[in-house]
Amino acid sequence: MYSKKFLKLIPYFLVSISINTISQIWAQNIYTIEKISPNGLITVSLTVPVDTTNNKNTQLSLRDDIPVTKKQVINVRCGHTKLKHDKSGNWLLPTTCNKVTWQVKPELSDNKPIDLANQLTLRLKKAGWILFSESSSLLRIKHSESASVLTSTNNIPLLGATSTLYGWAIPPVGTAPEFYIIGQPETQQKIIADLPVTYVIDNPQQTNWSELQALHQKTLRYFTTILSLPADLPSNEKSLLLIWLGTEAKNKQVNGAAGRRSFIANYIYERNHRISTSDNMHSLLVIAHEQFHQYADMVRYKHPVDTSVWIEESLAQYYALKSMQKALSADEFEAIKNKSLSQDQNIYFKFSEIEQQIKENNYKNYSLLYSQGPKFWYAMDQALLSSSQGKYGLDSLLPVLINSDCQNGQLPAAFVQKANEIGGNQINNLLKQYVQ
Ligand SMILES: [Zn+2]
């Protein structure tokens, strides 16, 4: 959108040459990292697009599709005027305001374990850079459908996943979030199956991460062989940014969060000695899990689907495990497979029930998606393989599964139909036991 009234004032030749550029800039919400104070406060500004400044009742808020555990945005201002937020956390934008600024107060992550799943902006003092998480740090213009970009001034180094003409792309509300780096960490670039991957690791001196990096590459390569990317995926949408933060083994907390073209994940380290193989495998499982989410987002590209939390989480966990067969020795894989699939065969809740609980904000059985979930998909995989004499497993149905809508916590109808054609009664029994 652009203002026709303003365009009339521009000489014709300029309009004819630059109309595309002008409309593109005006249609963008441009966010700028303006300043980092000595104590780590980040000043961010949003240049309000021309079509929005004239609107009454324009509201700003953090994206509402990702619940944040902590408010990191403070001092929201237009010029010298401090803006107030209402009870729901919305800031009303004055009609004359064309630039809003605020500050982001990062969590200090050096001395305490931090749950990455909370998607907070973190300041890593020792590493000397900031993990900037848009879902907890950027105020969005409510109901704006314009594209958004993140940029910086004053020579502040900024790294994102998807580069555009005007800055690093910011995903729209309703899609996966994105993570950025402020500062200049050591980075490593690799091309994996045609995908340019940038690794940012908080402590590149850790002995275990380079091994993890090689293992991760094998899991990603495997995902590219079972799910192909859409032909119209632009090259700038293929670059991935992977951010790995160490967590000491004694913390017993390994987490991650997947973004659109970036993801964050913990890796386990020991302060004074080499970590155990099983800890390293645990790190790889988390990394491969987030990588599967992120890769699935790329496969869906312009066609996001209505899916269920249980399908997304259990499938990412099963495929993370499955991908490890490509990365580990036979013995190592057997050990982690047995640990994940053999213990406790009880089915505590059906997945449609857990999905309903999640809708009601009841997360008490959420962890079953990571334990009971892979067991279900493994049984499904085996049933498909055995009834087709090894011809079709879950891999062959994965494109249908991840590209189809589903309802009420059930599997997509197109997937169920195809699975039934191959596995008949065995499939129906599994669905009755685990899903319906
Ligand atoms: Zn997940």
Handedness of CA 326, 285, 427, 228 (dihedral sign): negative
Ligand 1 centroid, distance to 367 Cα (angstroms): 11
The pLDDT value given to residue 113: 83
pLDDT band at 13 (very low <50, low <70, confident <90, very high): very low
The pLDDT value given to residue 26: 55
Distance CA 363, CA 355 (A): 10
Nearest Cα neighbor of 110 from 98, 122, 95 is 122
| Residue 85 per-residue DSSP state | B
* Stretch 344-372: mean pLDDT: 93
Distance CA 194, CA 235 (A): 10
Ligand 1 centroid, distance to 78 Cα (angstroms): 38
Ligand 1 centroid, distance to 191 Cα (angstroms): 24
How many CB atoms within 10 Å of residue 100? 22
Ligand 1 centroid, distance to 365 Cα (angstroms): 15
Distance CA 24, CA 392 (A): 47
Ligand 1 centroid, distance to 10 Cα (angstroms): 50
306 Cβ contact list (under 8 Å, min separation 6): 405, 406, 407
Ligand 1 centroid, distance to 360 Cα (angstroms): 19
CB 103 within 8 A of CB 41: yes
Ligand 1 centroid, distance to 49 Cα (angstroms): 35
Ligand 1 centroid, distance to 255 Cα (angstroms): 9
Q: In what order do the strands lie in the sheet with 59-61?
A: 91-92, 59-61, 140-141
Q: What is the CA radius of gyration of the chain?
A: 23
Summarize pLDDT for 172-227 with one digit per residue, the tens. Answer: 998 999 999 999 999 999 999 999 999 999 987 776 677 899 999 999 999 999 99
The pLDDT value given to residue 78: 93
The pLDDT value given to residue 55: 67
186-301, CATH topology level: Neutral Protease; domain 2 (1.10.390)
The pLDDT value given to residue 7: 30
The pLDDT value given to residue 385: 97
Q: Say which residue, 82 or 143, is predicted with more confidence.
A: 82
CA distances from 409 to 391, 413, 433, 435 (A): 28, 12, 14, 8
Ligand 1 centroid, distance to 323 Cα (angstroms): 15
Residues in the chain: 436
Distance CA 58, CA 64 (A): 16
The pLDDT value given to residue 429: 95
* Stretch 354-360: mean pLDDT: 94
How many CB atoms within 10 Å of residue 433? 12
Domain ranges of the chain: 1-109+129-177, 186-301, 309-434
Lowest mean pLDDT among 7-16, 49-58, 268-277, 371-380: 7-16
CB 163 within 8 A of CB 157: no
Summarize pLDDT for 202-214 with one digit per residue, the tens. Answer: 987 776 677 899 9
Q: Which residue has the tokens 């998807």?
A: 162
Residue 433 has pLDDT above 90, yes or no: yes
Residue 420 has pLDDT above 60, yes or no: yes
Ligand 1 centroid, distance to 403 Cα (angstroms): 17
Ligand 1 centroid, distance to 392 Cα (angstroms): 26
How high is the mean pLDDT of the chain?
A: 89
Ligand 1 centroid, distance to 45 Cα (angstroms): 31
* Cα-to-chain-centroid distance, residue 371: 21
Residue 10 has pLDDT above 70, yes or no: no
Ligand 1 centroid, distance to 373 Cα (angstroms): 12
Ligand 1 centroid, distance to 388 Cα (angstroms): 30
Summarize pLDDT for 69-104 with one digit per residue, the tens. Answer: 778 999 999 988 999 888 888 999 888 888 999 999
pLDDT band at 371 (very low <50, low <70, confident <90, very high): very high
Distance CA 17, CA 21 (A): 9
pLDDT band at 54 (very low <50, low <70, confident <90, very high): low
Ligand 1 centroid, distance to 27 Cα (angstroms): 33
Distance CA 204, CA 186 (A): 8
Ligand 1 centroid, distance to 290 Cα (angstroms): 6
Q: Say which residue, 189 or 25, is predicted with more confidence.
A: 189
Residue 20 has pLDDT above 50, yes or no: no
The pLDDT value given to residue 183: 96
* pLDDT cut 90: percent of the chain above it: 69
Summarize pLDDT for 241-288 with one digit per residue, the tens. Answer: 999 999 998 888 899 999 999 999 999 998 888 888 888 899 999 999
Ligand 1 centroid, distance to 159 Cα (angstroms): 24
Distance CA 53, CA 271 (A): 53
The pLDDT value given to residue 207: 61
Residue 11 has pLDDT above 60, yes or no: no
pLDDT band at 51 (very low <50, low <70, confident <90, very high): low
How many CB atoms within 10 Å of residue 383? 21
Ligand 1 centroid, distance to 293 Cα (angstroms): 7
The pLDDT value given to residue 83: 92
The DSSP element (H or E) to which 134 belongs, if any, is: helix 134-137
Report which listed range, 46-50, 317-321, 358-362, is most confident: 317-321
Ligand 1 centroid, distance to 363 Cα (angstroms): 14
pTM across the whole model: 0.90
Ligand 1 centroid, distance to 347 Cα (angstroms): 20
First-last CA distance in the chain: 46
Ligand 1 centroid, distance to 5 Cα (angstroms): 48
* Stretch 100-114: mean pLDDT: 89
Ligand 1 centroid, distance to 338 Cα (angstroms): 21
Q: Say which residue, 8 or 56, is predicted with more confidence.
A: 56
Q: In what order do the strands lie in the sheet with 81-82?
A: 81-82, 73-78, 99-104, 42-47, 29-36, 148-152, 167-170, 163-164
Ligand 1 centroid, distance to 400 Cα (angstroms): 20
* Stretch 13-18: mean pLDDT: 34
CB 179 within 8 A of CB 264: yes
